[in-house]
Structures are given as structure tokens and as C-alpha cells.
Amino acid sequence: MKKRFLSLGLAAVMAMSLTACGGSNTAETTKAAETTAADAKAEGSEAADTAAADAGAAGGVFKIGGIGPVTGGAAVYGVAVQHGAELAVKEINEAGGINGAQIEFNFQDDEHDAEKSVNAYNTLKDWGMQVLMGTVTSAPCIAVADKTAADNMFQITPSGSAVECAANPNVFRICFSDPDQGAASAKYIGENKLASKVAVIYDSSDVYSSGIYEKFAEESANQGIEIVAAEAFTADSNKDFSTQLQKAKDAGAELVFLPIYYTEASLILQQASTMGFAPQFFGCDGMDGILQVQNFDTKLAEGLMLLTPFAADATDDLTVKFVESYKAAYNEVPVQFAADAYDAIYAIKAAIEDANVTPDADASTICDALKASMLNIKLDGLTGEGMTWTEDGEPHKAPKAVKVVDGAYSAM
């Protein structure tokens, strides 16, 4: 098997590049996840049944599976991915499918658990899956990627950002990797002169958070940024951040970089406000979801910045159409994970069309064809225009920055 190397030059090519989520280790769910996760499995099954019923006998059916958390602490990510994928499948099927073949989509819950994710993968294999869109979070994605490599099953993850997620030649991703996120964050802060003294609060027990921090620290030296405090916490100590915040305040931090997830970030913003500490806060894509945290005062997030591939208030035709369709279907504004999944399904479609494979082909044959075709396609998606992929599975695109203004993400 050909070894894949992460292209660290990606962040250097782009003025700013940051997206992709690892996966939260938190035990809390957001309000949005609580109100939608109960129906998520049923919706995925109904979508698959509908697609199968509508498929023409002559055209056949491509079976695309999906895996991610639709229950548990990371449900906000998985539900968004499921819904974004469902919208793309619906659009493609209504437009005639892929070369006349319909898509049957089956999404399985893994609760952000690696073992359950492997079980979900086996369930989808028994169902007859030919292509996998998933998994959503990094640790389960790494576990499943080992299985897809052994089976030669084509896999594209919308949001698994750990380097290891795309280490095998059969795996591609929509998001950027953790190291590229860290480097891009430092470049953005430095090039836009947001601060010269920066504190970092990160989760040393999490591969997503620590991976971003390490590269951020390395690139900060090149940007004239002084890291005045680098304070860690773990999954066992992620409720009280008073010590970390006090050290950042005492060190004169003008900006606090938070390469962490929205649940912990919401606590940090609350506790910083209580102690009268008001620096600029700057987050990564794991921050997306903070405005939906139950009982969180969104005023505390005013001015929060994060680099993300998607802004729901963008005015381009594709985004406007997507947001309108998403609101109509799910009664909420889509976050970037929904956009990642939407683009993942359209990338699969483009690769299948480029390869000219038919739905009667087995998964291994399709995988071999799509690995080559992913290097040929160019996709204008929600998360980037003119997206291309290289042999290492990494995307090349220009992401977007957002800032929380009046309780909503606003494109910068």
C-alpha cells in the first residue's frame, strides 16, 4: 500500500486556511442536537427507502453509506452532516441521479465512539454499501479508515481532520487537517495584526486540539507572535478554567486562541466574563456550534472569530439556495458540518461521473476508479470554489472567516 504524506505546504499556499473538526469528548449535547437527534436515524432510513423506491430499474442504484454521531455529546456535528448529505442526495436524485442511477443513502449512528463506528461500518457493508461518506469525528474515522483500507472501500470524510484520518490511499476529505488549521490560524492572526501577545487554552488529551496547538505554536514564531501562556486541560478537567484564564490575564494576553470544542469554549467565555477578562477570542472549526449550546448567553460570544469554510449569511447563489432548503427541511440554520457533507456527496458524484463507473460494480472496483478520478475533478462547492484534491487525499481550496455579530455568524 502506498504511504500517504500530509502536505504541510497547503497552509503556506493559502493566506488563510482553517476548517475541519476532530470530535468532541464532551458529555453534553446542544439544544439543536437534542431536538433533532431522536429523529435522525429514522430520517436516514426513510431517505434511503425513498431513494430506493424512486430508482429506475434501468438506471440502478448507488449505495452510499454515512457514519457519525446523531446521539451523545457530539450529536450536533453528526446531525448536521446527516442532514447536509440528505439534501445533496435529494437534489441529485431529483435531477436524474448519477448518470441515470439513483442514490440510496443510509446513515448510521456511532455516538462518537470508535468501536460503535466500526460496528456501523459492518452494518453498512452488510447492507451493500459501495462508497462511505464518513465518519464525522476523527477517532472513529481513524478506526474505520483501517477497515476501509483493508476492504478497498472508497471513503471521503466531511470533517475528520486528524492526520491519520486520510493516511490511507482510499481516503479523501473535504476539511483541512489539524496541522494546517494550526498554521493557518497563526498566519491569519499575524498577517491581520490581531495581536502580538497570545495565550492558548487547549485540550492535551484530544488529538484534534493538541494537533492544532502544536502547529500553531510552530508557526507563531514565524509571525512575530509571542505565546505568553499555553495552558492545557484534559477530558477529566474540562469544567473549571479559572486557573488557565488567570494565567492568560496576568501574562497580558491580547488574544486567547481556543483550538477546542464549543462546549468547553462556552464555559471559558462565561468564566472569562465573570472575572472581567475580555480579550479577543479566536477559535477553530470545533467552535462552530457554540451559538446552539443550551442555556448559553450568545452575547458572550459577540466578536468571537473563527476560520471556517462556510458562512450561512454568504450571498452567493449556491449558499442562499442551500440555506433556504436546509431551513425548510430542518427548521434551523445550517452549520459548516452540513456544508462539508453536502460537498462530500457532490464530490462523490463528480468522481463517479469522471470514472464512468456503473452501480453494478463492486465496492473495490469503484474504489480503484474513484481514487484516480478524485485527482481529476474540480468542484465549486459550499466550502470552497474550484476545490481539487491531491494524491494524499487533502483538499485545496480557499476557506472563509466568520465573526459572531448580533448573535449570528457573519462572513468577514
- The residue ranges of every structural domain in the chain are 59-175+313-396, 177-307
> What's the CA gap between 256 and 279, in Å, rounded?
7
Binned at pLDDT 50, 70 and 90, residue 314 comes out as confident
> What's the CA gap between 90 and 103, in Å, rounded?
9
DSSP state string for 332-380: S---HHHHHHHHHHHHHHHHHHHHT--TTS-HHHHHHHHHHHTTT--EE
| pLDDT at residue 45, rounded to an integer | 46
For the beta sheet containing 408-411, the strands, ordered from the edge strand earlier in sequence to the opposite edge, are: 226-233, 197-203, 255-258, 280-283, 305-308, 400-405, 408-411
**pLDDT over 70 (residue 34):** no
Cα–Cα nearest to 46, from 72, 10, 82, 22: 82
User: Is 350 buried (19+), middle (13-18) or exposed (0-12) by CB count in 10 A?
Assistant: buried
| Structural fold of domain 59-175+313-396 | Rossmann fold (3.40.50)
How does DSSP classify residue 146?
Answer: H
**pLDDT over 60 (residue 321):** yes
Binned at pLDDT 50, 70 and 90, residue 267 comes out as very high
> What's the CA gap between 205 and 97, in Å, rounded?
43
> What's the CA gap between 173 and 113, in Å, rounded?
20
| pLDDT at residue 399, rounded to an integer | 63
Binned at pLDDT 50, 70 and 90, residue 51 comes out as very low
**pLDDT over 50 (residue 6):** no
With vertex at residue 174, the alpha carbon angle to CA 214 and CA 105, rounded to the nearest 5 degrees, is: 135
| Mean pLDDT confidence for 233-256 | 97
pLDDT tens-digit map of 124-140: 999 999 999 999 999 99
| Domain 177-307 CATH (choose: 3.40.50.300, 3.30.870.10, 3.30.2290.10, 3.40.50.2300) | 3.40.50.2300
> What's the CA gap between 171 and 155, in Å, rounded?
5
Binned at pLDDT 50, 70 and 90, residue 46 comes out as low
| pLDDT at residue 39, rounded to an integer | 52
Query: pLDDT: is 12 or 387 the higher one?
Result: 387
**pLDDT over 90 (residue 367):** yes
Q: What is the CA radius of gyration of the chain?
A: 20
Cα–Cα nearest to 62, from 327, 360, 300: 360
Cα–Cα nearest to 387, from 399, 379, 376: 379
Helices and strands, number each (H, E), in the chain? 12, 15
pLDDT tens-digit map of 144-200: 999 999 999 999 999 999 999 999 999 999 998 998 889 989 998 999 999 999 999
398 Cβ contact partners less than 8 Å away, ≥ 6 residues apart: 14, 15, 16, 17, 384, 385
Question: Do 177-307 and 59-175+313-396 have the same topology in CATH?
Answer: yes
| pLDDT at residue 228, rounded to an integer | 98
For the beta sheet containing 395-396, the strands, ordered from the edge strand earlier in sequence to the opposite edge, are: 379-381, 384-389, 395-396
Does residue 80 contact residue 36 with C-beta atoms inside 8 Å? no
Mean pLDDT of the chain: 87
Residues of the chain with pLDDT > 70, as a percent, come to: 85
> What's the CA gap between 23 and 14, in Å, rounded?
25
